[in-house]
Structures are given as C-alpha cells and as structure tokens.
Amino acid sequence: MGISAKLRVLMHSSGFKRFFAIRLLCQSGDGMFQAALATLFFFSAQSQGSPGAIALALFAMLAPFTIVGPFVGVFIDRWPRRNIIVVTDSIRLALTVLIVIAIVTSGITPVVYVIAMLALALNRFLLAALGASLPRVVSSEQLLLANSILPTIGAAATGIGALVGVMLGLVLPVGNARDAATLALAGVVFASSIVVALGFGRDELGPTHHELTNSEKLSVGGVLR
C-alpha cells in the first residue's frame, strides 16, 4: 500500500484530519522559518559571512535540538497537549514578529540569534507533543500505519516550506524587506496552525490519567543525572 492509499484510510477519522493539518502547517512553517534564518545568517549583506558570524549562526540553529531535546518528555505528559501546541505556536509567532522588527530596525544583532534559538527550541518541543498526541486521534489498529507515514510527510512539508522560503528570497530584491517577508510568511503559517489546533478540546489530545501518573516519576533533575 502506497503512502497516498494509507493516507486515504486514515483520513476517515475527523480527528486525524485536523491533526494532519496541524502537522503540515507546523512543519511547513518551520521550513520557511529555517530557510529565512539561513538566508539571513549566511547570505545577507549584514552578516557578511565572516567565520565568527557563521559559527554563531550554526550554534543558534543547531544547539536548541541538543539542549532542549532531552527534556521535552518531562513536560508533554504533564500539560494538556492541545495547549502545548497552541501556546508553543503562539510564542513562535511572537518571536517571529520580534525578529522581523529587529532586522528591519537594527539589523542582525545578538538579540536576533537568541530569539532564533528560542524559536527553534520550541519547535522541538512542539514536534514531541504532536508525536505523543497521535494515539489520541487514530485507533490502536491504525497507529502503526500513521507512524509509518507521518514522519515522511512531515519531512516533506518542512522541505516544501523551505523551498517556498528560498524561492521567495530569489524573487524579492536583496535586503531587509526580503528577509522580513519570508519570516512574515512563516508567521502566517504558525497563526493558521493555532486556529486549527483550537478545534480540539482542551484534553482531547491527552495526556491520559496513566500518562500523568507516570510523568511524576520523571524530572528535569533525573534527566540531567
């Protein structure tokens, strides 16, 4: 069974349709956001591609996944996952707006790198919450099927988002307006994800009582040890 056939089977669930839309929006928006950052940090006249600027940019783009990744499990089984998605994307939207304002008014400053790191770290948190929510929108019989195609489709959405961001950068003239436009488009996609996620009930995506009980055994200190 091909991916399209598997997807048609899953689409019979209204909950999965909404969940699938959220995942596509989140990951395509993230692709646009990362493409905009790559253009801003590596190819803009402001960064000038100096070794120090490139090293800082790589740290800003890669560190969040290493620093935040181990700790997401401490929280995604303690808080309503619908709220995690909504709040996380809301913060990402706000941070994207802050980056746009910063590059238009002040250019690439250390503040931009810090804000970018925060936004990328939140993406790792969001994807973990989505992964944990999947059993709540498909039956146990379809869970393996959903897990077999969602990572592939999600990665493709990220790639398409990045391609859209790159193409937009090629069409628009070089300058702050180009960088701001790509980031603004990512912000629009993040806002769309928030609207779709609000269609779920507060506790519809979990965690369950069993997950809440087990989460009490896991702490930040335990992860550090």
Say which CATH number the domain at 34 has: 1.20.1250.20
Residue 209 counted as domain residue: yes
Residue 224 counted as domain residue: no
* Contact present, 112 and 103 (Cβ < 8 Å): yes
Instruction: Give the other-Cβ count within 10 Å of 182's Cβ.
Output: 25
Residue 11 counted as domain residue: no
pLDDT at 59: 72
Q: What is the token pair recorded at 138?
A: 């498909």
Token pair 């180009």: residue: 178
- How distant is the alpha carbon of residue 114 from its chain centre? 17
Residue 222 counted as domain residue: no
Residue 173 DSSP class: P
Among left, alpha and beta (phi > 0; psi -120 to 50; other), residue 215 is alpha
Residue 42 counted as domain residue: yes
pLDDT at 55: 72
C-alpha span between 44 and 169 (Å, rounded)? 11
In 3D space, the residue among 124, 141, 116 whose CA is nearest the CA of residue 10 turns out to be 141
Residue 60 counted as domain residue: yes
Mean per-residue pLDDT of the chain: 84
pLDDT at 218: 66
C-alpha span between 77 and 62 (Å, rounded)? 25
C-alpha span between 40 and 37 (Å, rounded)? 5
**Positions in the chain whose pLDDT score sits under 70:** 1-2, 44-54, 57, 64-65, 69, 212-220, 223
pLDDT at 49: 58
Torsion angle of C-alpha atoms 189, 194, 199, 205, degrees rounded to 10: 110
pTM, two decimal places: 0.86
pLDDT at 216: 64
C-alpha span between 28 and 159 (Å, rounded)? 7
Range(s) of the domain holding residue 42? 17-217
In 3D space, the residue among 43, 90, 165 whose CA is nearest the CA of residue 98 turns out to be 90
pLDDT at 133: 92
| Diameter of the chain measured on Cα atoms | 54
Number of domains within the chain:
1
pLDDT at 108: 80
Q: What is the token pair recorded at 139?
A: 């039956």
Residue 12 counted as domain residue: no
Instruction: Give SS3 for 11.
Output: coil
Residue 146 counted as domain residue: yes
C-alpha span between 150 and 154 (Å, rounded)? 6
